[in-house]
Amino acid sequence: MGLTLAEKILSHKVGRPVRAGELLVVEVDQVMVVDSIAGSFFKRLEYLEATPRYPERVSIVIDHVAPAANLEVAKAQKEIREWGKRHGIRVFDVGRGVCHQVLVEEGLVQPGFVVVGSDSHSTTYGAVGAFGTGMGATDIALAAASGRTWLRVPESVKVVFRGKLPKGVTAKDAALEMVRLLTAEGATYMAVEIHLLDGAEALTRGERMTLANLTVEAGAKAGLVVPSGEILELYRVPEWLYPDPDATYVKEVEIDLSALTPRVSVPFYVDNVHEVAEVKGKRVDQVFIGTCTNGRIEDLRAAAEVLKGRKVAPWVRLLVVPASSQVLEEAARDGTLLTLLEAGATIGTPGCGPCMGRHMGVLAPGEVCVSTSNRNFRGRMGAPDAEIYLASPRVAAASAVAGYLTTPEELEEVHG
């Protein structure tokens, strides 16, 4: 019986074939720490009387509350900078961007790597064929101190995307449809292995990051996109980094991209996914475009295409937070930034922005937000009764102009 992609990566790490259910200790290629958990990470290392075994394999990213929103956060970030300098650890400071986007841009994540991060959306690294997974402060500290981590080899769910996306439909719509079909608990502690076939291979690295990012919303331990298309051009992909044809899967799901329509995740669960047409007309107070899910240059360009020559509705706050400084620079160079500003957008410091409700756009009681992020639980962005609708940058931009939840196509019909 063959091996899944997750089994292949972990087998390569330990030097022998491994199967789902086995407990392993594996070498870690990169340990990622975010600002919001860095203090706990330092305390765990201090308790262990240890320092990172391989400093070059550890990265700290100041992104969750960047720049600092209050005195306590400022003190914590100062400690990060001083600790990083003292121990020779790279620190990506305020403005560099969201951890997952930054590590990919910096080449710190490569096909076949095992990457552990102190952020649940570390599954994003699977876009390039790396086994990326989120862990808490204690496990992250132990991984940094020893250069290794332990884990149970996960079972795998096979998700096959076929065909090409229709005009106006995006990878975010595909990802939401995947979560709807798997459900919030449908892949708990499993690897979601994504196959792109019959034209779907054309999805870019950024689009693959969106798919891998949202696998954790189905409970996944890892989200792995089988290397193809652009990934083969951008990376040196090992010959062994492919699942066997006779690999065993817990379940298999197939999605026809050509039949997809714009999707939206309705409060208060990510897997509560509907066609936008089913819930259109909901008045919105805030629109947020950004995050590790949809803050890349192609996302900003998609929003700008919808916003060009239009203005945001008077009662709507449109917040755009690029996923990284590179994205911001590119948007400034090609005119995307100017289009967003002319439409009435407010541009934020590259980073997580208001995604987790700590600053830069916290929602008041009763407010409604259309967001390109990845979670819409109660209280995620502020008040417990505030509502978050998860959608693509195109739908978000159209909703900002209309002042209610809609698609660009319907916006064109009504407003021209």
Give the annotated binding-site residues for [4Fe-4S] cluster.
292, 352, 355
Q: Six-digit token pair at 324?
A: 């990284």
Q: Six-digit token pair at 102?
A: 């930054």
CA distances for 52 relative to 46, 66, 134, 140, 400, angstroms: 11, 25, 18, 10, 46
Dihedral in degrees, nearest 10, Cα atoms 330, 335, 339, 340: 10
**Cis link prior to 322 (omega < 30° from 0)?**
no
Q: Which 8-state DSSP code applies to residue 56?
A: G
Buried b (16+ CB within 10 A) or exposed e, 258-273: eebebbbbbbbbbbbb
Decide: 243 and 2 in contact? Cβ < 8 Å. Answer: yes
Cα–Cα distance, 369 to 62 (Å, whole number): 25
DSSP string, 193-254: EEEEETTGGG--HHHHHHHHHHGGGGT-SEEEEPP-THHHHHS---TT-S--TTB--SEEEE
Dihedral in degrees, nearest 10, Cα atoms 131, 222, 31, 240: 0
Question: Binding site residues, as ranges?
Answer: 292, 352, 355
